Structure 1
């Protein structure tokens, strides 16, 4: 438009309408964060209503964990492909809209299965929901790097996690009361289905935010004449084999750390009821502490990490403190709020420091593929571990002791992978554990070397 053309020529005076201005970028960030709210809210609907699911649908712990594991199974492959499709086929805007629509359809199928009392249909719905939700997370990460790389990237990842986990927290707060209200009019599994239908309204809100963000990004691309791939390289699925050891170790951390968080929260209600003799409502409250604290602490940790850098050190500290939290919950009788608060702070610290590492390792034109692979291997771990967790609880007569030991063993693997990242980065003089000032110097040096390499042949031809 004429207005956009004028902005392109007068960006310094355009104020909040200028895509490079801080107010405009943070308005885009608001929609980036909210586009994931609905999927995270609905993801943990079963966790908030675990007692209702098992009672009304007559499910064992193993069958209940299938609701979570079936979410992860398709994404072992499709999440990686979804990231590639963003890089090569759909583009970030269309890809995000498609994935958000799939999330909404999946949640509606899940709710329909609840109303009809058909567990198999609910599983189909979660399968479809999972196809969209994890690819949507890849798109969300790609948007963050596109708008904020080199500026407030750690804080942005923290804020995205904050809003997402706030969605999970709100779910744990309101789904039990919502079901209680709905069950006055609809008894049994029908009340469960109606409550799930009401929860799907959060996905509609996220879809609206996705459309608005797509419009803002298209406008910014036109005004700024943005070129995210000046070299003209095309992303290929085979690019994954060219990624270096530090990327693979980041992927290991993605699996080993998160399988000690998400399956624990999914089965957390039963854990706190049996180990600390709480009611389901009390168990949900303490179970939601991880997400509540991360909603507050993630952007704060991101802001601090933007200022001090040293991402690998932060990942190491987060893993150690999460191990401590699980130890306190398993081997002591301290108030569970203490262990869960430590876990929430640790989770926030890791998310704000780990995910930005990918953008420091992989070129921008491969980011969708890289983030998609990280999500894929994470979902492989979650799919297997969630089923294993249910089997461990059932075979232990409802005891969670060996399950906690199981989770802590994965945190030790995460710790070893973090040490490998640090050692590899130190050996190759990488920038993963540098301060921001050191990274700026590092990138300037790399850019000068590239210019020098490009000029040498031209100079030689001139002399000849």
Structure 2
């Protein structure tokens, strides 16, 4: 008789609670984007007036654009440093260690961030909020690695792209609800209670961590794999990093350049829409900016099923970059309604996330997957952090609430274009190298399920030259991402 852990319902139950791990943290991550006017608003507004439906003076925390973008940059930098060590520790000590530690850090970081908002107008505001974002980034980026590692273990050789897509959809549900409800909640209760509400959602993520940890532990014991994976984990060494293939690094660079054009744009999208296009309130601008996540939420599962069925992950990665290229040109040089561009960007983002991140388990073994994911996330966050700083410099640093000139926004979009072009270059190189080394990433799937056998997750070789037939079997299996 089959054990519960061997049945499909069990792995999807694990997936459900695994998805909830980052729901609250993704909600918290983009709260500053929705409330950018409040973060950069005046400390007091004694004589605020309303002109054409727009409030002339917005009361807020008094941050400059540079300080505001630093909230995102320090999150990215922290991820870049911490996730490398975190991925290695997860491989060595296991998923349960990581899921508790990093979900707790998201709670602690979001609490300190919320606490900092009570010190507006003082010298403690920025240090407290940066400390909160630092701890929050340490937890959230690393938590995503654990989440991906759990997903890869339970769905390898099965519905992996679908599972990654659903994980992304749940995370983006948090982002979408943030864009829909945060501005109204802040208007009713103030910025302090809004930030504490985000902390409460992170607490719910910690509860989900307890549940998924228990399910993972029980399931692995039922499958008789707990001891074997622990034995493999003890063999993981830092020296293994030198053996990661060129194909892996090209995939990592492709991910970094693509996300460099997504997250820094979303961080400033609400204010961009208000500054460039007439007639948009802060609430409407937030909705339009959030359409990137809306599209991702709606499409992620469907796109995951499609990629599970079709394969061709390298081709999808290249196509995503090519089709993203016109988005920033339209935003920079035309007055086409911004919703067109944000929905468009959401579609390409959905395909990119479902094709790029699930490709990593194809070319690294399960025992070192956490380390590989950590390195990929680290490089991604280094790029995003630098991009946030560059965007902050492009947009100017002197005034906290003035309208930013259009030429500055155009320069920002040109910078986004440059990142997308770089993504196209690296994805072309990725496809060339992959083709020369057997075409693992671009193999079609669902050819003949009866003839395909997934390789044991902890026995897949690390070196390109050692892959052979085991890698081909893994690539041909019916399955196969923020940060």
TM-score, structure 2 length as denominator?
Answer: 0.85
Using the alignment, how far apart are the partners of 1:245 and 1:311 within structure 2? 17
Deviation at 1:237, TM superposition (A): 2.0
Work out whether residues 172 and 294 of structure 2, in 8 Å CA contact, stay in contact via their aligned partners in 1: yes
> Is residue 2:328 matched to residue 1:326?
yes
Using the alignment, how far apart are the partners of 2:323 and 2:367 within structure 1? 35
User: Between Structure 1 and Structure 2, how many residues are aligned?
Assistant: 427
How is 1:422-437 mapped onto 2 (pairs within 5 angstroms)? 422-437=431-446
Structure 1 window deviating more from structure 2 (249-258 vs 113-122): it is 113-122
Name 2:429's counterpart in structure 1. 420
Name 2:100's counterpart in structure 1. 97
Using the alignment, how far apart are the partners of 2:427 and 2:447 within structure 1? 21
Work out whether residues 440 and 472 of structure 2, in 8 Å CA contact, stay in contact via their aligned partners in 1: no
Using the alignment, how far apart are the partners of 1:193 and 1:128 within structure 2? 19
Deviation at 1:228, TM superposition (A): 3.7
How is 1:63-82 mapped onto 2 (pairs within 5 angstroms)? 63-82=67-86
- The Cα offsets for residues 179-216 of structure 1, whole Å up to 9 and x where unpaired, read as 1111xxxxxxxx32221011211101111111001000
* 4+ long deviations beyond 4 Å: 229-233, 395-398, 437-445, 447-450
Deviation at 1:449, TM superposition (A): 11
- Uncovered stretches (5+) of structure 1, i.e. residues with no partner: 1-9, 183-190, 451-464
Cα gap change, 1:397/1:210 in structure 2, threshold over 3 Å: closer, same or farther?
same
Name 1:83's counterpart in structure 2. 87
> Is residue 2:43 matched to residue 1:20?
no
Using the alignment, how far apart are the partners of 2:117 and 2:96 within structure 1? 32
- The Cα offsets for residues 348-367 of structure 1, whole Å up to 9 and x where unpaired, read as 00000100111001111110
Name 2:21's counterpart in structure 1. 35
Using the alignment, how far apart are the partners of 1:195 and 1:244 within structure 2? 45
Q: Which of 464, 469, 473 is 1:446 aligned to?
A: 469
Deviation at 1:72, TM superposition (A): 1.4
Deviation at 1:279, TM superposition (A): 1.4
Work out whether residues 104 and 203 of structure 1, in 8 Å CA contact, stay in contact via their aligned partners in 2: yes
Q: Which of 119, 129, 139 is 1:116 aligned to?
A: 119
Q: Helix, strand or coil for the counterpart of 1:235? A: coil
> Is residue 2:263 matched to residue 1:254?
no
- Uncovered stretches (5+) of structure 2, i.e. residues with no partner: 42-59, 398-403, 456-467, 474-483
Work out whether residues 328 and 334 of structure 1, in 8 Å CA contact, stay in contact via their aligned partners in 2: yes
Deviation at 1:427, TM superposition (A): 0.8
> Is residue 2:143 matched to residue 1:136?
yes
Cα gap change, 1:221/1:408 in structure 2, threshold over 3 Å: closer, same or farther?
same
